[in-house]
Structure 1
Amino acid sequence: MGRILAIDFGKVKTGIAVTDELQLIASGLETVATKDLITFLKNYTATEQVELFVVGEPKQMNNEPSESEALIIPFLEKLTKAFPKIPIERVDERFTSKMAFQTMIDSGLSKKKRKNKALLDEISATLILQSYLYSK
């Protein structure tokens, strides 16, 4: 069984989370520069079996796509081209950034560490992946 890899796509940085091989536990993997994302994914999939990409779907409160969806659509096209055999599923990512920030507070991180946007993106990707796993 392959891993499931979640992507919290951002204009500058993208958070990545992954499951274990049994697809039971979601863990933050890394935050990468978005411009390097496809290269990172190619390197990762060269050593790890990934059977599904889960990509966050930003929505507004009225269920309409958020403005950042316009940036994600071209990325999804690149992802499909680069990995034609790995399916992509979308997961509503509303509130993941707020939940990730609250997780940082609850875990006792200092104010300085909570300003680390890369960590926030990685936690957000983990929450997206957990949401997907719960829905299965």
Structure 2
Amino acid sequence: MGRILAIDYGTKRTGIAITDELQLIASGLTTVPTKELLDFLKKYIKSETVDLILIGEPTQKDGTASSVEVHIKEFIKSFSETFPKIEIKRVDERYTSKMAFQTMIDSGLKKKQRRNKALIDEISATIILQEYLYNK
């Protein structure tokens, strides 16, 4: 059984989370500059079996698509051309950044550490993945 990889896509940075091989536990993997995302995934997927990619679907409070959606669709097209056999699912990611920030507070991180936007992105990807596993 391969892993499930979750992506919290951003125009500057992208948070990535991954499951264990049994697809039971979600863990933050890293945050990469978005322009390097596809290259990072090529290297990662070469060394690990990935069965499914979850990509956050950002929406506004009124339910309309976020402005980053255009970029996400471009990425999905490139990813699908590169890895046609790996399934992609979209997952609602509303409020994951707020939840990630609250998680940082609850875990006792200092104010300076909570300003680390890369860590927020990675935690957001982990939340997306945990929600998927919980509702699977």
Q: TM-score, normalised by structure 1?
A: 0.98
For 2:88, the equivalent position in structure 1 comes to: 88
- Tell me, what secondary structure is at the counterpart of 1:23? coil
For 2:105, the equivalent position in structure 1 comes to: 105
Paired positions, count: 136
- Tell me, what secondary structure is at the counterpart of 2:75? helix
Structure 2: how far apart are the matches of 1:70 and 1:43?
Answer: 25
Summarize the alignment of residues 61-76 of structure 1 with structure 2, pairs less than 5 Å apart: 61-76=61-76
Q: Percent identity?
A: 65
For 2:35, the equivalent position in structure 1 comes to: 35
Structure 2: how far apart are the matches of 1:132 and 1:59?
Answer: 17
For 1:5, the equivalent position in structure 2 comes to: 5
Tell me if 1:132 matches 2:132: yes
Question: CA deviation digits over 1:85-110, x for unaligned, max 9?
Answer: 10100000000000000000000000
- Tell me, what secondary structure is at the counterpart of 1:60? coil
Structure 2: how far apart are the matches of 1:11 and 1:62?
Answer: 21
Summarize the alignment of residues 15-34 of structure 1 with structure 2, pairs less than 5 Å apart: 15-34=15-34
After TM superposition, what 4+ stretches of structure 1 lie above 4 angstroms from structure 2? Answer: none
**Range that drifts further, 31-40 or 65-74:** 65-74
Question: CA deviation digits over 1:33-69, x for unaligned, max 9?
Answer: 1111011001001110000000000012222211111
For 1:116, the equivalent position in structure 2 comes to: 116
Q: TM-score, normalised by structure 2?
A: 0.98
Q: CA deviation at 1:5?
A: 0.2
Superposed CA RMSD in Å reads: 0.7
Structure 1: how far apart are the matches of 2:68 and 2:131?
Answer: 20
For 1:56, the equivalent position in structure 2 comes to: 56
Instruction: State the AA in 1 paired with 2:127.
Output: L
